[in-house]
Structure 1
Amino acid sequence: MPQKTDKLLPILTGQPVIPVLKIDRAADAAPLARALAKGGLPAIEITLRTREAVDAIRIAAAEVPEAVVGAGTILNGRQFDQAVRAGARFIVSPGTTQELLDAARSTDVPLLPGATTPSEIMAAAEEGYSVLKFFPAEQSGGIAFLKALSAPLAGTRFCPTGGVTPGNAPAYLSLPNVICVGGSWIAPDTLLQAGDWDGIEALAREAAALSKA
């Protein structure tokens, strides 16, 4: 079954940066999502890296209608289903497995799976996936590697995540096969722990203004 790009592309093309969030306290989910949306980044990826991540997805999805809440670090079908039940509108995984592809077939919620090698990218294309996460971006060859892929694998577009910063994001965004980038710098632990929603909104506003180099 082809990737549900009709649902996924509007999310990824709507902003240059998708915030990648690690939320330790579920109570932070709603004010965080509001701050990011107010700053121009309504689509967010809440990673399943903490005990309260699923509750955070549920709260943000229920209480912040202006946010487009996605779930990241999804590793298997059980987590996929759990995130969808919590209200996630898109699913992100660091890799691609048959179990995840099977889970994606059973729902309307789109999957952004990860791939880093030409073989992985070609295998994903055989499954109908033309939009992929490139993770960890910097450690996997970064801008130069993605640029090299743009001609032989021109039909695939990427959301690079991992080591992306305000400094290198424009260069990533300038590549013809990059649709957006994922970034964790927009909601750093220091601001989250302090509940500095104005500070996070300001970082979101700066990220939303990033353009191609």
Structure 2
Amino acid sequence: MEPTYTVTAVRNRDELEHILALQQKNLKQALSEEELRAQGFVTVQHDLPALEQMHAMAPSIVAHHDGALVAYALTMPREARALAPVLEPMFALFESLDFRGRPLSDHRFYVMGQICIDRAHRGQGLFDRLYHQHRDHFRDAFDLIVTEVSARNLRSLRAHERVGFETLHTYRDATDEWAVIAWDWAAPRKDEAQLRDASGR
């Protein structure tokens, strides 16, 4: 029998604390080189006050299995940029980019602050479900999600491409090469396009 998951918006402080615990287990510095290559990793470390303020602006999305939080996808509105100073260069870069022939800053977007799935629950479709719940929850207020992923994090890049993200820009900083990617909710969904192809429409 396959495991069942509940994917919802964050509801309370306890869930924020569980997000931090899962984050700690998957930080880049907590993993071996082999794990980094095979499993992926997260880079930015948050604290509880920052998560609480982000949650007050817009709730993040989490997945539960048997009452335990096993995955999260952090919502970071542009107004939250001051809560993570390490991300200031990323936000400044976004202000210089174009998307669909217009400045990215003219679009209604928010940033995927981080997405992480507990190792024991990977391969169950949770990555896609977290993102689809984001779209269902926020599509009336936003048109797209923007984020950046380390070029070394091939597992994450492939998963984002599968959902529908496209690369807007690549750059290198002092530590890594990065891909700036966006998921445009106005673009046809891949699963919808496949259904049309299958039906001949």
Q: Given the two structures, how large is their TM-score scaled by the length of structure 2?
A: 0.27
Q: Name the larger-Rg structure.
A: 2
**Higher strand proportion:** 2
Give the structure-1-normalised TM-score.
0.26
Query: Which of 1 and 2 has higher RCO (CA within 8 Å, sep 6+)?
Result: 1
